[in-house]
Amino acid sequence: MSTVITASNAPAALGPYSHAILAGDMLFTSGQVPLVPETGKLAGESIEVQANQVLSNIESVLAAAGMTFANVVKTTVFLTDLADFAAMNAIYATKFPENPPARSCVQVAKLPAGAKMEMEVIAVK
């Protein structure tokens, strides 16, 4: 049995998918790009601004499921340029100051809405 999680303060989905699915105690989020929920537009051009927005969006989805970054056990980060890794990593680390989750980070050719970054997480209650 699974439950669809919709976060009212995260950007609307760009396609036929849910913000997240709660399956038992496990939460699987869809990838979040740096769209501002109120406008549906890209947060900004820099990786720093985009990373902050992505993490804010993820935080909203986690909260809608009654979770926080402390519940996250795995993340996957997609970057359009691995040269942005260090800057993204510095911002990412602020949300996981201790015992960070397992993570994969890959470079991709392109992301929705012209984003430089997308992230998805798996969390456990």
pLDDT in tens, 35-55: 999 999 999 999 999 999 999
Inter-residue contact 54 to 17 (CB < 8 Å): no
In the predicted model, residues of the chain with pLDDT beneath 70 are: none
Amino acid identity at 70: A
Number of domains in the chain: 1
CATH number at residue 79: 3.30.1330.40
Tell me how far apart the alpha carbons of residues 118 and 5 are, in angstroms, rounded to a whole number: 19
Whether 65 is catalytic: no
Helix axes 85-95, 47-64, angle to 10 degrees: 30
pTM above 0.75, yes or no: yes
Catalytic residue among 49, 105, 111, 122: 105
Residue 62 sits in which domain range?
2-124
